[in-house]
Chains A and B, each alone.
Chain A
Amino acid sequence: MRYAMAVDTKKCVGCSDCVVACQAENKVPIGFCRDWVVEIVTGKFPEVKVELRSERCNHCKNSPCVRCCPTGASHYSDGGIVMVNGDDCIGCGACIQSCPYDARYSHPEGFVDKCTFCQHRVTRGYKPACVSVCPTNCLYFGDLDNPKSDVSVALQKRKYKVLAPEAGTKPQVYFLI
């Protein structure tokens, strides 16, 4: 099993529902977030292009954060989900420094926190909170080993990219372009 997500940059309207849903579902402390929306505008008016991306932890196959963690608090869980065990985390910041996507933050209680692909939901057959609320259905989630899963179908049909592939992290959040 290999969990992954695809984000349709053509369908995303940047409403930030995914951000709010995540904050509510995961009780993210006020002022922080585990996912966010990036809007990139290229060109000069009136010839401008826009790309909207709902970003989060990429749950990389070759995660620098897991490699750098001195206590093993950051680890690979079932389906390749990168998880942090708060009770093993000493808050040294090595994983925050090692992430090319700046996907981690220091929780006010001291440990490091990040997106979990809503592990507590997906292991029970639900979709992650962000995916389930997206009003334009631009987020696809599922098991890459299953060719019929939402994410596999999306990736079969469309061209896609990943963020900073040159970092060698083998990210598992794909952006449909």
Chain B
Amino acid sequence: MKEEFFVSGRNIPNIDPSLHIWHWQIPAYLFLGGLAAGILFFAGLYTVLGKEKEMPTAVKWSTFIVPFALAIGLFFLFLDLKHKMYFWKLYTVIRLESPMGWGAWTLMIITPLSLIWSASYLKELIPGWNWKFEILNKFEVFVIKNRKYIAWLLIVYSAILGIYTGILLSAFNARPLWNTSILGPLFLTSGLSTGAVTIMWMSKNHLERKMMSKIDLILIGIELFLITHLFMGFLASTEVQIESAQLFLGGAYTYLFWGGVVGFGLIVPFLLEVLELRGVKIPAAIPAIMIIIGGLLFRFVMVDAGQLTRYLY
């Protein structure tokens, strides 16, 4: 039996709740960042592969979501800050050791990049669109001429953005649930998956839809593999990580994680997509919405549960 209580300090209500410092803003942003990374990755990929004609939704139309997703995500991040008027201090230094510093600078680059990318397709979306200023017209010509190079930048920066959403959490060794290097690839895969199903959902082209569906099946497979490894790693690790895994293996998050994230968000849409590819008529929106909700729930569960885990001493 071990009883622990604080004579002073920690039983003050103002302290302990403030240690659970990240609320809905962070997981919502992590989801939007992952979604943006997923969409931009496929836009860049299919441009580099020269498949703009075969994959119009991936390369062009879906990217119109991204600047909005990133802007909303950034606004959520701003809402999370407690010293809001000092946010610009992020951009006065480059701190290579700090994942959040990396994230801030990545967003600084990828947000305008996504805006430029989708804006260069605006004339195709709205025929007769006029930029009004000559300099913007000239810039558009420049962007269109250099799309291949920008596509490479999109691939690199979307991968950094996708991985960073996981590394942001995994860099905190004080929260054992987050402190695993699998979180980076896992969040990247999940982000790519939500991006792929968004493209699939938006696409009116049968072949493109089929392609994105197949890619998504592979991504879901990788995700299930990484989740299995996540828990194998925890259970083979130190006491604090074994205890944090218990939150999902009988603890408070068991049903939400295995039922909501894995069942509703991965396995059921996986089966629906397989049936759809085999010719059963299922609207693409159904598996897409399930995966998007699953991705959102995954981030909420991870951020929330991680803040319950800690070192024991």
Contacts and interface: CB of A to CB of B under 8 A. Distances in A.
Contact of A111 (B13, B82, B171): B82
Given A32-B15, A42-B1, A97-B21, A68 B82 contact: no
A44 B81 CA distance: 45
Nearest to A165: B313
A72 B86 contact: no
A87 B13 CA distance: 26
Q: Which of B6, B21, B104, B312 has the most chain A CB atoms inside 10 A of its CB?
A: B21
Interface in A153-177: 163-164, 166-168
A91 B82 contact: yes
B148 to A, nearest CB: 33
A24 interface: no
Contacts of A105: 14-15, 18-19
A33 B174 contact: no
Interface size class of B (residues with CB under 8 A): 35 or more
A110 B84 CA distance: 8
Interface in A88-115: 88-94, 96-102, 105-106, 109-112
A39 interface: yes
B95 A70 contact: yes
Interface in B1-25: 1-10, 12-15, 18-19, 21-22
A89 B83 contact: yes
Q: Which of B5, B9, B98 has the most chain A CB atoms inside 10 A of its CB?
A: B9
B173 interface: yes
A105 B100 CA distance: 19
A111 B89 CA distance: 13
Interface string B60-90: 0000000000000000000011111011011
A38 B7 contact: yes
Contacts of A167: 173-174, 311
B80 A93 contact: yes
B172 A68 contact: yes
Contact of A37 (B9, B21, B92): B9
Contacts of B19: 96, 102, 105
B9 A42 contact: no
B104 A106 contact: no
Contact of B6 (A37, A73, A87, A111): A37
Contacts of A93: 21-22, 80, 82
A52 B86 CA distance: 39
Contacts of B89: 71, 73, 88-90
Given A19-B8, A36-B9, A70-B95, A98 B174 contact: yes
B238 interface: yes
Q: Which of B12, B13, B87 has the most chain A CB atoms inside 10 A of its CB?
A: B12
Nearest to A33: B9
Interface in A28-61: 31-33, 35-44, 52
Interface of B: 1-10, 12-15, 18-19, 21-22, 80-84, 86-87, 89-90, 92-93, 95, 97-101, 103-104, 171-175, 238, 307, 310-313
Interface of A: 14, 16, 19, 31-33, 35-44, 52, 64, 67-73, 86-94, 96-102, 105-106, 109-112, 163-164, 166-168
Given A37-B6, A90-B87, 7 more contacts: A36-B6, A37-B8, A39-B4, A91-B86, A93-B21, A105-B18, A167-B311
Q: Which 9 A-B pairs have the closest CB atoms?
A: A36-B9, A91-B82, A110-B83, A91-B83, A31-B14, A70-B101, A70-B100, A100-B174, A93-B21
6 contacts: A33-B8, A36-B6, A42-B3, A97-B175, A100-B310, A167-B174
